């Protein structure tokens, strides 16, 4: 049953998904709805010329309850004068459908990017840059013209160009998220990208270094002229941190007294802060590097003390020197996890160290611990 109470900041904060709807007691037809995921949207219900209409006022977070109330009063005044505000909105959208103001480019620059910056300022610029790089031909499209067929064509071309299914899945999820925000904010009525199915990806295979490969990599790192490379590689090998987490790492994230490194939630893919114990090798590498580079700002500095950018050519050179093939920097994370599992560390601990939100992601390493399965069946033998 809908709740009846005045729509205020307090009552909106107390609204839970099971409530479904809050009807305002002061303004007839003014109400708020909450989705199972907690999204709250303000509406105005009105009747005009025998029609019943639910007019969408806006989303909580984009407007306050007071602003929604004022807008509801304004729309009621229009309806009283015989104006069908819903029909007028559709007419206005149609008239601006092919203007630059309704293009993907404009929405990204004027609405989506500021929203991303408010949520995660450190990664917003990088996210939008990658978005535009992935979908350059869609930038001038009207939001309402970006449909499942356009994305299917885009994906087929990407796959034909050799882009991996997992990569296209991530990129498509990005544009889905963008258009979903456009729907939430009332910019477009709907989108059909949910019809673009995620491609099946085999994540069970992981690449890690053999003992001989690890030995050769370490030798190559010792003779490398670029000082930071040995530090960042060995840190990845001993903590399982992602490259982006390493490049965003600052000295204040490291507690040398307790030998704990903190991955800030703003830099973590999962969005959750995690605390990683430093083993002897990782700790000594950081102590040594601090003496060389200083103890302020980013651990790995680029120009003007900004965080270091990517280093693909250096990584390729060191792999070539070590005679290691088909091994990405990200595979150091797999190497870390694989060594833990092969040392009989339980999978849930591995999950916590890697920052996986779901144990399913960690199960790809389970085959490296066959003794666990053997021990399990021996319990009933």
* Structure-block tokens of residue 277: 């114990």
Q: How far apart are CA 139 and CA 147, in angstroms?
A: 14
Whether the pTM exceeds 0.95: the reply is no
> Looking at per-residue confidence, does 361 or 169 come out higher?
169
Q: What is the pLDDT of residue 94?
A: 63
Cα 101 to Cα 95, 97, 140, 267: the distances in Å are 11, 8, 10, 32
The mean pLDDT of the chain is 87
CB count within 10 Å of CB 39 equals 13
Q: What is the pLDDT of residues 54-79, one digit of tens each?
A: 999 988 877 899 999 999 999 999 99
Q: Judge contact between 368 and 341, C-beta under 8 A.
A: yes
pLDDT band at residue 10 under the 50/70/90 scheme: very high
Mean pLDDT (whole number) for 191-203: 81
Q: Judge contact between 106 and 187, C-beta under 8 A.
A: no
Set out the domains of the chain in order of their start, with CATH numbers. Answer: 3-95 (3.30.160.390), 100-195 (1.10.150.130), 211-378 (1.10.443.10)
Q: What is the pLDDT of residue 318?
A: 92
Mean pLDDT (whole number) for 333-362: 85
Percent of the chain with pLDDT over 90: 50
């Amino acid at each position: 049953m809908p709740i009846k109470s005045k729509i205020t900041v307090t009552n909106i904060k107390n609204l839970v998904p099971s409530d479904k709807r809050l009807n305002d007691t002061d303004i007839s037809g003014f109400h708020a709805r909450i989705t199972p995921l907690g999204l709250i949207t303000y509406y105005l219900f009105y009747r005009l010329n025998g029609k019943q209409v639910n007019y969408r006022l806006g989303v909580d977070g984009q407007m306050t309850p007071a602003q929604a109330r004022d807008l509801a009063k304004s729309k009621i005044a229009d309806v009283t004068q015989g104006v069908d505000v819903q029909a007028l909105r559709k007419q206005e959208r149609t008239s601006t459908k092919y203007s630059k103001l309704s293009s993907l480019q404009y929405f990204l620059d004027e609405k989506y990017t500021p929203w991303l910056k408010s949520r995660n300022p450190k990664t917003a610029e990088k996210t939008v840059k990658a978005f535009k790089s992935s979908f350059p031909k869609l930038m001038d499209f009207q939001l309402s013209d970006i449909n499942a067929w356009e994305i299917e064509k885009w994906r087929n071309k990407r796959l034909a160009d050799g882009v991996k299914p997992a990569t296209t899945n991530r990129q498509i999820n990005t544009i889905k998220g963008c258009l979903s925000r456009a729907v939430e904010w009332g910019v477009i009525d709907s989108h059909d990208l949910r019809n673009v199915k995620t491609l099946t990806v085999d994540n069970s295979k992981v690449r890690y270094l053999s003992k001989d490969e690890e030995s050769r990599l370490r030798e190559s790192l010792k003779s490398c002229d670029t000082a930071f490379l040995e530090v960042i590689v060995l840190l990845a090998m001993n903590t399982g941190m992602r490259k982006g987490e390493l490049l965003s790492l600052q000295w204040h994230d490291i507690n040398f007294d307790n030998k704990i490194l903190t991955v800030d939630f703003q830099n973590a893919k999962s969005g959750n802060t995690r605390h990683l114990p430093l083993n002897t090798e990782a700790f000594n590498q950081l102590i040594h590097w601090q003496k060389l580079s200083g103890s302020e700002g980013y651990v790995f500095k680029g120009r003007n003390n900004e965080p270091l950018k990517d280093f693909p050519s250096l990584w390729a050179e060191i792999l070539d020197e070590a005679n290691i093939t088909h091994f990405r920097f990200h595979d150091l994370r797999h190497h870390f996890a694989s060594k833990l599992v092969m040392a009989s560390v339980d999978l849930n601990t591995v999950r916590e160290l890697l920052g996986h939100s779901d144990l399913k992601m960690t199960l790809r390493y389970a085959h490296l611990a066959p003794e666990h399965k053997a021990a399990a069946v021996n319990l009933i033998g």
